[in-house]
A and B are shown apart, each in its own frame.
Chain A
Amino acid sequence: MDGSREQSTTVRTGAQWLLQALEAEGCEVMFGYPGGAVMPIYDALVDSPIKHILVRHEQGAALAADGYARASGKVGVCLATSGPGATNLLTGIANAFLDSVPMIAITGQVQTNVMGTDAFQEVDMFGMSLPVVKHSYIVRHAEDVYATVREAFAIARSGRPGPVLIDLPKDVAIASAAARQPRFKSAAATGSEPEALMQARALIAGSERPLLYVGGGVSMANAEASLRSLMRSTGLPAVWTLKGVGAVDPDAPFSLGMLGMHGNPAANHAVQECDLLIVAGARFDDRATGKLDTFAPKAKVLHLDIDAAEIGKLRRADVSLSGKLSEQLPALAQPLSISAWQQRCREMKAQYAERYDAPGDGVYAPALLKQLSEAGGNRLIVASDVGQHQMWVAQHWRVSRTAAHLSSGGLGTMGFGLPAAIGAQLAKPDACVICVSGDGSIMMNIQELATLKRYGIPVKIVLLDNSCLGMVRQWQELFFAERYSEVDLSDNPDFAVLARAFGIPAFTVERRDEVPGAIERLLNEPGPLLCHVKIDPRANVWPLVPPGKSNGQMMGCAA
């Protein structure tokens, strides 16, 4: 409903106004878990057309809302009660904050007259969440609920998106009132100065070895088409971050791969050799740059970002444009004479092409991921968990668009994969959503198998099981003299049996010759399915830039 006329005369409870506002914002699905302080909301929900997904842990609600938002481009919504329900949301809220994902997190709160008295299930969620939200509210009057929710959505999706918390005391949810009108703040002007644009174009024109460094901001700005058009018209080579995976056409001749700690050597060498770094929606994250003062040592920097606070935060920009990438990128197009640089990039791309001819009969995870993604094509959405398998997905999964690659980039949240896949599947019911997880990560939110079963959500899980915490084990092997400490998971449960206990069909793969059949099942069976893949515990992710080293000092690649 529009509501603008009705709300001035209609009286509803705070809980009803909350749901009215969610409807007005186009919310169709929300993820949550009931409890004492949100009982009025759950009561009102009985009469709401909004589909509520009952997760089995509040962290799953926040991460599912995150996955929903990433896959759909809409604002994800999650709901939890006060106290432990609210604190369980925090990891998911922080995850959304660090990856700039639009989210509304609604938490119940104790009644206003006992707030500040250490009441049952009272925590200061407003205070606890301050560092990890774009904005937050405590709604203290029922008349403010509708407007606050509308204003929160506007904030969550505007500019650089992010999570907004709404803390709603129980008595406010129960009280009845007419609703006030929302007051939307006018968005800050984002247009770049014409002079800066001229300087940017001149920097590019004067460069012999320009390179695009593409981050997650490109997809958040819906600027993938603009980026690809710019690359086609100029022949600019490009590298990308973990969150930028999919923004660049993987078949483009000068797409060099992911940069950084587990980046492609061609990408890292190109960064070290370039004389102009065109930073599009990226933020010089330490996993991308390695040792910062040796990163792109010969390059001037042209930094494009919707968030002016990212300009100069970690690397001084010679020229910056703070505005919409979808408008800025096309304005940079111009004929370039960089054929020698293009040839150099072409040679590096060929030299460092991935190889999949690993010896032995065991399952080689990179090859499995490549084959599965190629067989599934553009209908696939992959939600990765965190660890070695996350890097293998980023390196080897064929991704055609950023919204088809969901990964916890900034926070690195183990347990992200399964709930994010649930959110993505609900956002895109026709997509084939695959969760790639590990035996460590899957156990962080294993309870969400029950959510898959309850709603028949047809997420396919590829569980790469190396019986250890692989990434930590790899670092202990390489940087801690093989002193393995608390990484052994050889007493894992039988994951196929575990999945079946939740009512999810499952099967186990141990040999390479079983992979084609497994891919066939994953892509063609209806309903949820878990494919338990046993892999070599000694497998490492290569290449690797050691911590604190320059990106030019990669291990595990032919120089």
Chain B
Amino acid sequence: MSRCFEIDLDHSEGALLRVLGTVERRGFALIEMSAEKPDAESYSVRLQVDGERDPQVLCRQLERLVDVRAVRLLPLPPEEPPPPGFKATWL
């Protein structure tokens, strides 16, 4: 099942790698990602992932990462699929 997460991160080395690695190692596939940088110290990532496991558990697995400030599991996405592609506005 596809679910969306919004994740607030410290802007520190490896923070995004840790998040993406956790998502994939815990059995979820990344479908789409976007990121923005609201200030010098942090950035926000929105992930859409797909997997059979409990997304609440993934939420807690992401929350325990040292660089992660907050994780929000969003309600189920609308019927219309999101546009394909990768968007990383802060790069």
A residues sitting closer than 8 Å to B (CB atoms) are 126-127, 130-131, 134-138, 155, 159-160, 185, 307-309, 311-313
A312 touching B13 by the CB < 8 A rule?
no
Q: 15 extra interchain contacts, Cβ-Cβ under 8 A, other than A185-B66, A309-B64, A312-B54?
A: A127-B17, A130-B14, A131-B25, A134-B66, A136-B14, A137-B13, A138-B13, A138-B14, A159-B64, A308-B63, A309-B57, A309-B61, A309-B63, A313-B54, A313-B57
Report the nearest A residue to B69, measured CB to CB: A185
Q: Is residue B18 within 8 Å, beta carbon to beta carbon, of the partner chain?
A: yes
How far does the alpha carbon of A311 sit from the alpha carbon of B61 in the complex, in Å? 10
Report the nearest B residue to A135, measured CB to CB: B66
Contacts known (A312-B56, A312-B57, A313-B57); A130 close to B64, Cβ less than 8 A: no
User: Least Cβ distance of A507 to chain B in Å?
Assistant: 47
Which residues from B are CB-within-8-Å of A131? Answer: 21, 25
Which residues from A are CB-within-8-Å of B14? Answer: 126-127, 130, 136, 138
How far does the alpha carbon of A135 sit from the alpha carbon of B18 in the complex, in Å? 9
Tell me how many residues of B have a C-beta within 8 Å of chain A: 16
User: Least Cβ distance of A172 to chain B in Å?
Assistant: 13
How far does the alpha carbon of A307 sit from the alpha carbon of B56 in the complex, in Å? 14
Which residues from A are CB-within-8-Å of B64? Answer: 159-160, 307-309
User: Least Cβ distance of A517 to chain B in Å?
Assistant: 51
B residues sitting closer than 8 Å to A (CB atoms) are 13-14, 17-18, 21, 25, 54, 56-57, 60-61, 63-67
User: Least Cβ distance of A455 to chain B in Å?
Assistant: 35
Of the A-B pairs whose beta carbons lie under 8 Å apart in the complex, a sample of 23, sorted by A's number, is: A126-B13, A127-B14, A130-B14, A130-B18, A131-B25, A134-B66, A135-B66, A135-B67, A136-B14, A137-B13, A138-B13, A138-B14, A159-B64, A160-B64, A185-B66, A308-B64, A309-B61, A309-B63, A309-B64, A311-B57, A312-B54, A312-B56, A313-B54
**7 tightest Cβ-Cβ pairs between the two chains A and B:** A309-B60, A135-B66, A309-B61, A308-B60, A313-B57, A309-B64, A312-B57
User: Least Cβ distance of A364 to chain B in Å?
Assistant: 43
How far does the alpha carbon of A276 sit from the alpha carbon of B66 in the complex, in Å? 34
User: Least Cβ distance of B56 to chain A in Å?
Assistant: 7
Which residues from A are CB-within-8-Å of B17? Answer: 127, 130
Which residues from A are CB-within-8-Å of B66? Answer: 134-135, 155, 185
A130 touching B60 by the CB < 8 A rule?
no
User: Least Cβ distance of A187 to chain B in Å?
Assistant: 11
User: Least Cβ distance of B59 to chain A in Å?
Assistant: 9
User: Least Cβ distance of B58 to chain A in Å?
Assistant: 9
Report the nearest A residue to B65, measured CB to CB: A135
Which residues from B are CB-within-8-Å of A127? Answer: 14, 17
Which residues from A are CB-within-8-Å of B67? Answer: 135
- The listed residue (A135, A185, A311) touching B60 by CB distance below 8 A is A311
How far does the alpha carbon of A160 sit from the alpha carbon of B21 in the complex, in Å? 20
How far does the alpha carbon of A131 sit from the alpha carbon of B56 in the complex, in Å? 20
Report the nearest A residue to B66, measured CB to CB: A135
User: Least Cβ distance of A26 to chain B in Å?
Assistant: 22
Which residues from A are CB-within-8-Å of B13? Answer: 126, 137-138
Report the nearest B residue to A322, measured CB to CB: B60
How far does the alpha carbon of A104 sit from the alpha carbon of B65 in the complex, in Å? 17
How far does the alpha carbon of A134 sit from the alpha carbon of B13 in the complex, in Å? 14
Report the nearest A residue to B54, measured CB to CB: A312
How far does the alpha carbon of A136 sit from the alpha carbon of B54 in the complex, in Å? 27
User: Least Cβ distance of B40 to chain A in Å?
Assistant: 15
B60, B63, B67 pick with most chain A CB within 10 angstroms: B60
How far does the alpha carbon of A345 sit from the alpha carbon of B65 in the complex, in Å? 41
Which residues from A are CB-within-8-Å of B21? Answer: 130-131
How far does the alpha carbon of A12 sit from the alpha carbon of B66 in the complex, in Å? 28
How far does the alpha carbon of A185 sit from the alpha carbon of B65 in the complex, in Å? 12
Which residues from A are CB-within-8-Å of B57? Answer: 309, 311-313
How far does the alpha carbon of A127 sit from the alpha carbon of B66 in the complex, in Å? 16
Which residues from B are CB-within-8-Å of A160? Answer: 64
User: Least Cβ distance of A304 to chain B in Å?
Assistant: 15
User: Least Cβ distance of A201 to chain B in Å?
Assistant: 24
How far does the alpha carbon of A136 sit from the alpha carbon of B15 in the complex, in Å? 10
